[in-house]
């Protein structure tokens, strides 16, 4: 029963010292890897972030994992993320594999039901995104896009060519608009 609540001062001191050093190592590694590591997350970034947190917790709480081993694991995860993101900037198929493509959900006032079904998004969620953008009516909106990070982008109707910002937006389904 004693070990469940308190197993001695040495384990607390170890957790404190290793925690501080592991935290410093993680911050240094994240700074070296660049801003992309901490950017708005897509599914790939979320997985790496969860893995970093899990690795950090393991370093802190598992006496069988040394600080050097934990730091190497953190560096490996961050290094792999750097390699994948570096590749995705330079190679189109890697980018599509890692981040996916944005999906057009509404175009020129029309809900694109097949695209919404594929993206598992409801009309209420699209309307909510439109309201959140400050628009009151569907006819004020050129397009609503589900971005690769799961956020919605609302493109207002304007006097210019709004299609330029829609370049590369995926519209799955035979009846949906192709841009």
pLDDT for 78-89, tens place per residue?
898 888 888 988
Answer yes or no: do 84 and 136 share one domain. no
- Measure Cα distances from 99 to 7, 105, 177 in Å: 45, 18, 22
User: Angle at the Cα of 32 (from 51 to 26), degrees rounded to 5?
Assistant: 40
- The answer on pLDDT for 45 being more than 70 is yes
In the numeric block, which tokens belong to residue 6? Answer: 């308190």
Domain boundary among 62, 81, 97: 97
Does 35 share its domain with 93? yes
Provide the residue range defining the domain that includes 106: 101-166
- pLDDT over 90 at 150, yes or no: no
Percentage of the chain lying above the pLDDT 70 cut: 83
Report the alpha-carbon distance of residue 93 to residue 15 in Å, rounded.
43
Is the residue at 176 inside a domain?
no
Question: Is 75 found in the same domain as 8?
Answer: yes
pTM of the predicted structure, to 2 decimals = 0.62
Indicate if the pLDDT at residue 129 is higher than 60.
Answer: yes
| C-alpha span between 130 and 119 (Å, rounded) | 17
**Residue 174 pLDDT more than 50?**
no
Q: Note the helical H segments in 34-66.
A: 43-61
Whether 177 is in a domain gets the answer no
Res 162 pLDDT > 70: no
Same structural domain, 69 and 152: no
Shared domain for 116 and 55, answered yes or no, is no
At residue 147 the predicted structure's pLDDT band, cuts being 50, 70 and 90, is: confident
Establish if 23 belongs to a structural domain.
yes
Query: CB–CB of 95/170 below 8 Å?
Result: no
Same domain for 90 and 26: yes
């Amino acid at each position: 029963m004693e070990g469940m609540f308190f197993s001695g001062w040495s384990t607390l001191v170890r957790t404190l010292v290793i925690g501080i050093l592991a935290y410093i190592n993680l911050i240094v590694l994240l700074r070296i890897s660049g801003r992309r590591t901490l950017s708005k997350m897509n599914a790939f970034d979320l997985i790496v972030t969860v893995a970093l947190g899990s690795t950090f917790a393991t370093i802190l709480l598992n006496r069988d994992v040394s600080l050097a081993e934990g730091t190497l694991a953190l560096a490996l995860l961050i290094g792999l993320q750097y390699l994948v993101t570096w590749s995705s900037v330079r190679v189109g198929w890697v980018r599509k594999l890692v981040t996916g493509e944005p999906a057009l959900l509404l175009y020129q006032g029309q809900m694109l039901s097949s695209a919404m079904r594929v993206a598992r998004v409801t009309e209420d969620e699209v309307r909510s995104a439109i309201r959140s953008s400050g628009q009151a009516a569907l006819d004020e909106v050129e397009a609503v896009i589900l971005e690769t990070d799961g956020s919605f982008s609302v493109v207002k109707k304007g006097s210019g060519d709004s299609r330029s910002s829609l370049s590369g937006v995926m519209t799955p389904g035979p009846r949906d608009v192709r841009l």
